[in-house]
Amino acid sequence: MSKIRPKNIIKGFTSDHTEKSKNRLLVCSGCEFRNKLPLKLSNCQVCGCLVDAKSKVEEESCPMNRWKDIKKIEKKGIIVGNLSEDITDISVVDEGVIFTFKDVIKKGGPGKVNLRVINDRAGEAKQFKADELDLTHLKVKVACGCTTTSDSPTELAEGDNFDLTLSYDTERIGAFEKNVRVMSLQEEFYIQIKGEVKN
Ligand code: SF4
């Protein structure tokens, strides 16, 4: 449990929000470990800290490691956060995000990526019209049978999020790069998982 260090408490209350702290708060906003008070007054039930104050202190971290890999697909108004332990890198490209596995996966071993997708279309960029802020008719599509996904909602309102699990069939030996398309009436982006399976 990583409780905010006493020397950082005042800093947390007196600093302004940055883009990074706002992204952290978006992750907290949909987190099952946050109590359901308004975000400004809300505590993390794992570390006990006020999430608003803690998010503003650069060197502080989420006790469940959910702040470490948050990436924004700028033009799409989407934030993607990593919920997995075994991902080494998340990179953002124009049209999506790429998750790369840290280690070579053993044949039949775990090949799952757990992530959180957040609708941040009202965020800093503000390039969307009011009626484009919600993502409607949402669909997640995989390119081939070696990758499957968990269920996803069909609508994602502004500020809302959902968790998605992508599973690769690790009975297949070799390097892989698999794309999953996330589509809605308003937007489309892709999530790629990348790695290698060996005997
Ligand atoms: S700090 Fe981490 S565990 Fe706590 S509410 Fe935020 S995202 Fe959830």
pLDDT grade, residue 1 (50/70/90)?
low
Please tell me which residue, 1 or 187, carries the higher pLDDT value.
187
Q: Whose CA is nearest to atom 2 of ligand 1?
A: 62
Instruction: Name the residue of 33, 70, 79 to mutate for ligand 1: max ligand atoms within 8 A of Cβ.
Output: 33
Q: Whose CA is nearest to atom 1 of ligand 1?
A: 62
Q: What are phi and psi of 28, to 5 degrees?
A: -60, -35
Q: Which atom of ligand 1 is nearest to the CA of 64?
A: 3
From ligand 1's centre to the CA of 137, what distance in Å?
Answer: 29
Q: How distant is the alpha carbon of residue 1 from its chain centre?
A: 21
pLDDT grade, residue 174 (50/70/90)?
very high
Q: Whose CA is nearest to atom 7 of ligand 1?
A: 28
Q: Which pLDDT belongs to residue 67? A: 86
Provide the phi-psi class of 48: left if phi over 0, else alpha when psi is between -120 and 50, else beta: left
- Report whether pLDDT(54) > 80: yes
pLDDT grade, residue 57 (50/70/90)?
very high
CA distances from 8 to 13, 20, 22, 24 (A): 9, 17, 18, 17
From ligand 1's centre to the CA of 104, what distance in Å?
Answer: 29
Ordered by start, the domain boundaries in the chain are 6-55, 70-198
pLDDT digits (tens, 9 = 90+) for 93-112: 888 999 999 999 999 999 99
- Report whether pLDDT(2) > 80: no
Alpha-carbon distance 154 to 194, whole Å? 26
pTM for this entry? 0.82
Alpha-carbon distance 85 to 149, whole Å? 18
pLDDT averaged over the chain? Answer: 90
**Cβ(68)–Cβ(97) under 8 Å?**
no
From ligand 1's centre to the CA of 44, what distance in Å?
Answer: 5
**Cβ(87)–Cβ(93) under 8 Å?**
no
Highest CATH level, class, for 70-198: mainly beta
Residues with CB under 6 A from ligand 1: 27-28, 31, 33-34, 44, 46, 51, 62-64, 66
Tell me the longest C-alpha to C-alpha distance in the chain: 54
Q: What are phi and psi of 132, to 5 degrees?
A: -110, 5
From ligand 1's centre to the CA of 122, what distance in Å?
Answer: 22
Alpha-carbon distance 136 to 182, whole Å? 11
